[in-house]
Structure 1
């Protein structure tokens, strides 16, 4: 009886998507592994052959918008990226400490989420922020809202819409450090020393963030990121965040600007 070898079919996975470069690392002599945030496929890694070439290095810089085509035999494989430039921002982003630290801190936040888990609203928010990173007031407010959105997607969203004790939607000036819910001035007054400040620009007010409000917002999001994410996972917050906060507040004092018209979604 004659035996026949089974026929093996090559299975190929492929998709194309818009993406923003988060970072790269060397791989072999001439290639790199690129980390990107995509519109429909979440944070994704892929091998870029020839990524260290003179023509590709300017494209594969953090903050640049590109179109990527990913291919692999199986979905769980690393796969390869073909990268086409769309909007190259990196040279401009390297001009100021705010934007240098900012793009690094944004990447660190996105790494808290599972790889390849789609978060299209975070991609859209990231695209807005990278276009405003050189403006202190815009960058600071947008970054805080991005942190709130990441917390929400991790399952630790803050409820800043009404008072936890009374249901009031006005005079919201505190946040409970345990529940993450807003508290009105009257209800929170007896516990003021234990409360976190709720900046007006996060409580439904149309006012732009001022320096003190922005500093309070950074403390607010840092508290809940530490409480719910960094401490339970046994990891430290990105040092880039500290650099971004310090550079933003310093520049904000020197050149305050109005709030942006477009803000990332929080929900």
Structure 2
């Protein structure tokens, strides 16, 4: 069994004295792991960094085996983020959520494409946090747990959508939701294309997507949101960007 595809590294962990187990997010093979022999060598360490784009050739005797990767660098721009703690926290959060939320070896091309857009935007501090929120919303949708933000669940109206029901994941308008607003989740306008990004919108978006990631994707498998995501939120708050 073998295949070759480009993808972004999302996880690297040591294996033995010289090798590493690497997880890559690809369009056609999803989140896929493999052993890189010599992956802890001086020449390979700059390549095997989360966020780097590589071409991976995977080979195994049987499909269910871990298999081996042969890795060639394509885009090592993730290394530049080491000097930007805020952007690095966003990259680490996205990688950790991809590892925690995506099933192994299951293709989710829309999630992989969105991840590519997110990584490409990390040098734009005023842009990437909102893209991150949209990427998590897209991940939920691709896993079959998408939020229904098209119209109000109570009235059917498509305007003034400012809440989401935590039970159904459906949007609720301001008027219909007013009596229950303490029990509803805030819906920032940028997630529905109804208005520009405002102060507090990123935080509301992260609370919204985090709520459904936990309850619909992670909790059924006895998992929680990754620490890397919490650290990202802390850094965004410290920078006044939520």
Partner Cα separation in structure 2 for residue 200 and residue 151 of structure 1: 18
Q: Does 1:107 align with 2:95?
A: yes
Q: Does 1:62 align with 2:73?
A: no
Partner Cα separation in structure 1 for residue 155 and residue 209 of structure 2: 23
Corresponding pairs, count: 241
Match of 1:143 in 2: 132
1:175·1:183 contact (CA, 8 Å) conserved in 2?
yes
Partner Cα separation in structure 2 for residue 136 and residue 228 of structure 1: 30
Match of 2:169 in 1: 180
DSSP-derived class of the 1:94 partner:
helix
Q: Does 1:226 align with 2:198?
A: no
| Alignment match of 2:109 (pick from 114, 117, 120) | 120
Partner Cα separation in structure 1 for residue 157 and residue 16 of structure 2: 60
1:72·1:79 contact (CA, 8 Å) conserved in 2?
yes
> Structure 1 residue 227: deviation in Å?
2.3
Residue-by-residue CA offset, 1:110-147 (whole Å, 9 max, x unaligned) = 22221000011111111111122243332211111111
| Alignment match of 2:121 (pick from 127, 132, 135) | 132
Report the TM-score, using the length of structure 1 for normalisation: 0.85
Match of 2:149 in 1: 160
> Structure 1 residue 102: deviation in Å?
1.8
> Structure 1 residue 184: deviation in Å?
1.0
Match of 1:203 in 2: 192
> Structure 1 residue 96: deviation in Å?
2.0
1:66·1:87 contact (CA, 8 Å) conserved in 2?
yes
Structure 2 residue runs of 5 or longer lacking an equivalent are none
Match of 1:16 in 2: 4
Report the TM-score, using the length of structure 2 for normalisation: 0.93
Q: Does 1:87 align with 2:75?
A: yes
RMSD, matched Cα: 1.7
Match of 1:248 in 2: 236
1:24·1:32 contact (CA, 8 Å) conserved in 2?
yes
